[in-house]
Amino acid sequence: MKLYEISDRYMAVLDAIADPETGEIIPEKATELEAISQDFQEKAISVSSFIRNLEADEVAIDAAMCSMQIRRDSIARRRKSLNDYLKVNMEKSGVTQIKCPWFQISMRKCPPSLEVLNERQIPDRYFNSKEAGIPEEDLLDAMKRGEVPVYDPSGRQIKVLEIDSLDDDLLGVFYE
């Protein structure tokens, strides 16, 4: 029997416990009420035990999520470290591309980026409004055309290492 059914039955017996004519308590109804009360307590204890189990599951899941996050962060650091290791050694060796049947490794130049060191040196014509901020796309275009001076003390070209799948359909063969 469900807890709400026991509760409804308890209320029905409680309403009928007294004799409507004399107002005296009917002994059979009092005994029935006591039995229902015992059923209610047992069911409430069962529901509470289930609640405690769910709380324990929540704690276990939180701990597992924390553990997985730590593991994920560790894997991400390891991946970045290996990526940097491969990139440095490819640059050192002058290798720009490696192909294998499953993927391609290549060094690619990053598109030019913009870092404004002093906003006051940017001509006013590049600002649409003072609140909108620096129009980076317009400035990058102006830099490419030579209209805005570029200062890059290192003179380096930033490169990124990419590992691309040669054929996404081919990957399906390995996972099917």
Instruction: Read off the pTM.
Output: 0.53
Domain range annotation of the chain? 1-94
Q: What is the pLDDT of residues 90-115, one digit of tens each?
A: 989 999 899 988 889 998 877 666 66
Q: What is the pLDDT of residues 126-158, one digit of tens each?
A: 666 555 666 677 777 777 776 666 655 555 556
Which residues are 27's β-sheet partners? Answer: none
CA dist 169 and 174 (Å) reads 10
Q: Is 39 exposed, middle or buried (0-12, 13-18, 19+ CB in 10 A)?
A: middle
φ/ψ of 136, rounded to 5, equals -60, -40
CA dist 45 and 23 (Å) reads 34
Number of other CB atoms surrounding residue 166 within 10 Å: 13
148 and 136 Cβ atoms separated by less than 8 Å: no
